[in-house]
Amino acid sequence: MNIIKVLGAMFFFCSCNAQSIQPGLKMNSDDNSLLWEVSGKGLARPSYLFGTFHLMCKDDIQFSSQLKTALSNSSLMYMEMDMDDPAMLLGGLMMMNMKDGKKLQDLYTMAEYQKIEAFFKDSLGTPFSFMQRIKPFFLVAMLYPKMMPCKTISGVEEELMKLAKEQKKEIKGLETMEFQSAVFDSIPYEEQAKELLKSIDSLPAYKKYFDTMIHVYKSQRLSEIENLFKDTEFGMENHQDLLLNDRNKNWVAQLKTIMPAESVFVAVGAGHLVGKEGLINLLRKEGYTLKPVLNK
């Protein structure tokens, strides 16, 4: 047999075999997708970027076959933090407290404090005595289940971790709990306290806003996700750099080192994907090719 034909057949077999290991993904017809392929700039294999939502009704969290394939194609998964590390979670509980012995009573008038205490006791069924030192933003997060129309609640990250474990993928974090704690310490506690009180006083309006966020997220309309983060009534526009933009730049700097070495599946809050300072645009500025993946 002609040696050239033999080599050609071997090359064809290897190519087909590689394709079976790394199946191609269908691209979306427009930019409205939470799942993006990152390629180009000399990457041997593409990586993937996925926008998550921290809290949803469990039945609403569904992963497409394309997403499962993207994760399968990746060597490991990166999240905002290594949520699979028990030590990190334990450390997180310790870092929920305010610095310098600050207490909630220091941030409110007596009438305001009593209103918040009554709300947590009556509406959430949660004793308030052990929350004296917790940062107000963490207490705002405790209101979210009150805004949801279901009893079984989960997070996209939580369900994604289960999928990663099924596929035996290692999970790593782009940030430490210490870093995230420092971010919230950088926002004045007095301002956080006002936000907590405002949330309680305006719970029906916040519930409507939260419903809109979930609807927009599920529809994967990125421009509308961006607009929600610009909302001056409910957003944290004064801290966009601290909460989003600066962190995005830090993650891109890490990914520039990580992605050439291995294909990764990056799962972070959907708000980090959008806008001029979002991950999609920042990675494009670095010379990578980003394409929306069909994610239905």
How confident is the model over 138-151, as pLDDT tens digits? 999 888 888 888 88
Q: Is residue 2 part of a domain?
A: no
pLDDT tens for 28-58 read 999 999 999 999 999 999 999 999 998 999 9
- Residue 11 has what pLDDT? 28
Decide which of 282 and 241 is more confident. 282
C-alpha 131/C-alpha 108 separation (Å) is: 14
- Residue 8 has what pLDDT? 36
What Å distances lie between residue 242 and 45, 91, 99, 137, 180, CA to CA?
32, 22, 18, 14, 10
Q: Is residue 156 part of a domain?
A: yes
Average pLDDT on 188-209 reads: 92
Residue 85, SS3 per DSSP:
coil
To the nearest whole percent, how much of the chain has pLDDT over 70?
Answer: 88
- Residue 84 has what pLDDT? 78
Strands 289-292 and 56-57: unpaired
Confidence of residue 89 (pLDDT cuts 50, 70, 90): low
In eight-state DSSP terms, residue 28 is P
Q: Is residue 4 part of a domain?
A: no
- Residue 245 has what pLDDT? 94
pTM over 0.75: yes
Average pLDDT on 263-290 reads: 97
Average pLDDT on 273-281 reads: 96
| Upper half-sphere CA count for residue 98 (Cβ side, 13 Å) | 22
pLDDT tens for 237-256 read 678 888 899 999 999 999 99
Task: Provide the number of structural domains found in the chain.
Answer: 1
Q: Is residue 18 part of a domain?
A: no
Q: Is residue 14 part of a domain?
A: no
Is the pLDDT reported for residue 92 higher than 90?
Answer: no
To the nearest whole percent, how much of the chain has pLDDT over 90?
Answer: 65
What is the number of other CB atoms lying within 10 angstroms of the CB of residue 64? 15
pLDDT tens for 252-269 read 999 999 999 999 999 999
Q: Do residues 226 and 217 touch, judged by C-beta distance below 8 A?
A: no
In eight-state DSSP terms, residue 97 is B
Is the pLDDT reported for residue 71 higher than 60?
Answer: yes
Is the pLDDT reported for residue 135 higher than 70?
Answer: yes
Q: For residue 217, what are the contacts with CB-CB under 8 A and spacing of at least 6?
A: 34, 51, 53, 56, 225, 270
- Residue 126 has what pLDDT? 80
C-alpha 122/C-alpha 192 separation (Å) is: 22
Q: Is residue 262 part of a domain?
A: yes
Structure token digits, residue 111: 């009438």
183 lies in which domain range?
A: 28-292
- Residue 234 has what pLDDT? 56
- Residue 136 has what pLDDT? 94
- Residue 91 has what pLDDT? 65
Is the pLDDT reported for residue 69 higher than 80?
Answer: yes
**Full DSSP string of 113-130:** HHHHHHHHHHTS---SGG
Average pLDDT, the chain: 87
Q: Is residue 17 part of a domain?
A: no
Q: Do residues 147 and 210 touch, judged by C-beta distance below 8 A?
A: yes
User: What's the count of helices (H) and strands (E) in the chain, helices before strands?
Assistant: 13, 8
Average pLDDT on 197-226 reads: 92
Q: Do residues 37 and 293 touch, judged by C-beta distance below 8 A?
A: yes
Q: Is residue 77 part of a domain?
A: yes
State in Å, rounded, how far the first CA of the chain is from the last one. 48
Picking from 32, 30, 29, the residue whose alpha carbon sits closest to that of residue 220 is 32
In eight-state DSSP terms, residue 294 is P
